[in-house]
Amino acid sequence: MAQVSEAELRRMEEIMRSTLHRHFVAIYVEITGDNGKVMRSVFSGFLMSLNGRWIVGGAGHCFDRVQYHVDRGRKAKRCYLFYSPARVSQPVAFDWERQRPWFRFEQVTGIDYGALFLDDQIRGTLQAGDKYPLDESLWDRTDSDADWYVVYGVPESRTELTETAIEMTTMFYPLEAVTETPDLSYEPKVKTFFGRLRPGVGSVVGVSGGPIFANRKAQYWLHAVQSWQRGKLIGAPLVRPMGLMLREEIARRW
């Protein structure tokens, strides 16, 4: 993919604002520690559907970080899904333990997937807010080439968390596909997308779990889940293997 022009950037923004934001959610979890200290965490995610079920997908290491505390008896007391396209002000409350999060996070293999299976009440609220999942035709794909790629999420630099307010701004970052596998400290067990951020873009810490969309000839699909950043390089396992794992989890649960 050649360097993105300003005209293409404007077109990307138009697509993000008019269409792709409908599939994005941010996840907020507030945990009360042993000493009463409150720990707040925000991470990016996306809506997808599988076998008729609505799912919030994201990066496994984000889910693992929360579950680590829950497994040690700490309470995830305030949990919200945020779904406005820009400044977020319409949270949907959910119960972390009741939603029974699923995740697989393996640093040595690059697997980094997490999911919440949404109940009918949360699904209805999101649908009323003009949110819709990406169905299987938009993520169960083997496409290997696109006109452009973009990662969408809530960077830490655009997040403000206090006792009385939660404010965050969604951002999108065009990516240039890296065709050769970079030197890694692990051997990827699933196909992984590698992308390079544009010059001038610094840290996108907090975007972990955000969807990486691909677009070709005005057709878009969910390509990968943002997992890590090293300098300008982004690593993201493809969504399709996640879907196969979720099928097995759905069969096990239901």
pLDDT in the model for residue 235: 95
Contact in structure between 60 and 114 (CB atoms under 8 Å): yes
Q: What is the mean pLDDT of residues 85-103?
A: 78
Q: What is the mean pLDDT of residues 8-29?
A: 79
> Is 226 a residue whose pLDDT tops 70?
yes
> Is 1 a residue whose pLDDT tops 60?
no
CA-CA-CA-CA dihedral for 207, 225, 191, 13, to nearest 10: -90
Rounded Cα gap, residues 125 and 87, in angstroms: 18
The answer for residues whose C-beta is within 8 angstroms of residue 28's C-beta and 6 or more apart is 40, 41, 42, 78, 79, 80, 81, 82, 91, 161, 166
pLDDT in the model for residue 144: 78
pLDDT in the model for residue 86: 43
pLDDT one-digit tens code per residue, 158-172: 777 766 667 788 888
pLDDT in the model for residue 47: 97
> Is 46 a residue whose pLDDT tops 70?
yes
> Is 245 a residue whose pLDDT tops 90?
yes
Contact in structure between 195 and 177 (CB atoms under 8 Å): yes
pLDDT one-digit tens code per residue, 52-77: 999 999 999 999 999 999 999 998 98
Predicted TM-score (pTM) of the model is: 0.90
CATH topology of domain 6-253: Thrombin, subunit H (2.40.10)
Q: What is the mean pLDDT of residues 22-29?
A: 91
> Is 179 a residue whose pLDDT tops 90?
no
> Is 10 a residue whose pLDDT tops 50?
yes
CA 61, 80, 97, 133 torsion-angle sign = negative
